[in-house]
């Protein structure tokens, strides 16, 4: 009878590059930067890594397909390296592969790394791809991610009869809060404080999302080295950070094709959340989750995720947001590192960057000004695709 991942895997070390427009670095340079930090943090030698999982999403730029680029860059000695790709859950999928290998007892020490070098595209934004298949290219509207997620906002505001001004204020608060956090973080790309007013005054990108409701494009890499809790304890002589849950939920097709989805929430997040909380033994997320990194590609996504993760009651996220519930000093700090808003979204790396932040917070590594007090469970959340058709990954780690 399967028993889930809880407490079967420990994180031995993690690394994360500075995210941003890393003009001076190719994908390989970013891989090395994150890996070196993770290796040093783990306190092991490279040859002790027995298998690796490598997350990259975009083929058109970046480092190429397959797991080979990771191995040839780091000179991994002929060990297994598997490429994972699952839209924005790519990084978490790499982590999941490494964790399952350790939990299955097949390997003792595994590496999970993600990288995305996007700034060779030549123009702003993600390079055009047929990420959604051939038919979508023929029949889908000429859409951008902001436009696709903006629909979450028009649907949410309509469903809960939210005055658009109040809705705008709430999502502005979400972004303002993340920018305040990012300003304190040397690894973030954007480190400027932005006020709610400045966010509301900003021009529209895709109604009703404005300039500051959308994350940017950047380069980055992050890595994690995982092992069994026993090995971690013997090496580190301290209580390690343990993996409590790893959940993935993929759309079944019914949101887009059937009639029950209301357009105002992310069903995969609900299901992945349920799976993750069950796996971690969490009965009341609002009370038990200490901090979160959720997929704030767009501020409205973060809003609905608060409800989808059963933290805010349905239709009530705005109250919690304006109360400061998710601010750094609030009950459940969300995006304590600044989130996608301040880091951008190098797709293969983001999931691991989120884990890096939760991991570092659990170990109390940050200066006082951006530390979460006494965290117990940290949750990461990624969402890739479009609101009606997507993959959601959730990881919960704790100590």
Q: Indicate the residue among 236 and 286 with the shorter CB distance to other proteins.
A: 286
Q: Does 165 bind other proteins (CB under 8 A)?
A: yes
Contacts (CB under 8 A) with other proteins, residues 194-233: 194-198, 200-209, 211-212, 214-218
Contacts (CB under 8 A) with other proteins, residues 67-86: none
Q: Does 314 bind other proteins (CB under 8 A)?
A: no
Stretch that binds other proteins, among 42-50, 68-76, 189-197, 362-370 (CB under 8 A): 189-197
Q: Is 385 left (phi over 0), alpha (psi -120 to 50) or beta?
A: left
Binding characters for other proteins, 315-354, by CB under 8 A (x = yes): ----x---xxx---xxx---------xx-xx---------
- What are the beta bridge partners of residue 243? 397
DSSP state at residue 287: H
What is the C-alpha end-to-end distance of the chain, expressed in Å? Answer: 25
Secondary structure (DSSP) of 145-205: HHHHHHHHHHHHHHHTT--HHHHHHHHHHHHHHHHHHHTT-TT-S------HHHHHHSPEE
Chain position carrying tokens 């975009």 = 58
Q: Indicate the residue among 76 and 170 with the shorter CB distance to other proteins.
A: 170
Q: Does 252 bind other proteins (CB under 8 A)?
A: yes
Q: Does 122 bind other proteins (CB under 8 A)?
A: yes
Question: Residue 194 has which token pair?
Answer: 């932005």
Q: Does 163 bind other proteins (CB under 8 A)?
A: yes
Shortest Cβ 238–other proteins spacing (Å): 25
Q: Does 364 bind other proteins (CB under 8 A)?
A: no
Q: Indicate the residue among 64 and 253 with the shorter CB distance to other proteins.
A: 253
Among residues 57, 189, 345, 381, which one is catalytic? 345
88 is catalytic: yes
User: Using CA atoms, how far apart are residues 32 and 71, in angstroms rounded to an integer?
Assistant: 11
User: Using CA atoms, how far apart are residues 73 and 70, in angstroms rounded to an integer?
Assistant: 5
Q: Quick check: helix, strand or coil at residue 125?
A: coil
User: Using CA atoms, how far apart are residues 145 and 378, in angstroms rounded to an integer?
Assistant: 27
345 is catalytic: yes
Contacts (CB under 8 A) with other proteins, residues 285-304: 286, 297
Give the active site residues: 88, 345
């Amino acid at each position: 009878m399967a028993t889930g991942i809880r407490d079967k895997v420990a994180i031995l070390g993690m690394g994360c590059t500075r995210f941003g427009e890393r003009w001076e670095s190719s994908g390989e340079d970013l891989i090395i930067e994150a890996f070196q930090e993770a290796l040093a943090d783990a306190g092991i030698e490279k040859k002790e890594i027995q298998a690796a999982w490598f997350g990259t999403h975009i083929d058109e730029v970046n480092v190429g397909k397959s797991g080979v680029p990771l191995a040839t860059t780091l000179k991994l000695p002929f060990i297994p390296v598997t490429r994972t790709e699952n839209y924005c859950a790519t990084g978490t999928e790499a982590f999941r592969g490494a964790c399952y290998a350790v939990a299955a007892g097949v390997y003792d020490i595994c590496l999970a790394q993600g990288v995305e070098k996007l700034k060779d595209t030549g123009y702003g934004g993600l390079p055009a791809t047929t990420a959604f298949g051939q038919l979508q290219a023929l029949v889908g509207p000429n859409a951008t991610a902001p436009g696709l997620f903006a629909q979450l906002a028009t649907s949410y505001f309509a469903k809960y009869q939210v005055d658009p001004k109040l809705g705008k204020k709430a999502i502005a608060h979400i972004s303002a809060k993340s920018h305040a956090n990012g300003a304190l973080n040397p690894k973030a790309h954007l480190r400027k404080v932005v006020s709610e007013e400045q966010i509301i005054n900003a021009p529209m990108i895709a109604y009703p999302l404005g300039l500051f409701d959308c994350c940017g494009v950047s380069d980055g890499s992050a890595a994690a080295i995982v092992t069994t809790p026993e090995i971690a304890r013997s090496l580190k002589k301290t209580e390690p950070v343990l993996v409590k849950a790893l959940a993935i939920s993929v759309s079944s097709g019914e949101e887009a094709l059937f009639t029950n989805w209301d357009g105002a929430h992310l069903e995969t997040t609900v299901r992945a959340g349920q799976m993750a909380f069950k796996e971690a033994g969490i009965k009341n997320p609002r009370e038990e989750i200490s901090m979160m990194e959720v997929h704030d590609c767009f501020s409205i996504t973060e809003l609905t995720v608060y409800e989808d993760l059963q933290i805010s009651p349905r239709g009530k996220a705005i109250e919690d947001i304006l109360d400061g519930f998710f601010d750094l000093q609030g009950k459940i700090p969300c995006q304590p590192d600044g989130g996608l808003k301040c880091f951008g979204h190098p797709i293969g790396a983001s999931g691991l960057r989120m884990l890096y932040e939760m991991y570092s917070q659990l170990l109390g590594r940050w200066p006082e000004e951006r530390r979460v007090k006494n965290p117990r469970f940290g949750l990461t959340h990624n969402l890739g695709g479009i609101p009606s058709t997507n993959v959601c990954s959730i990881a919960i780690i704790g100590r």
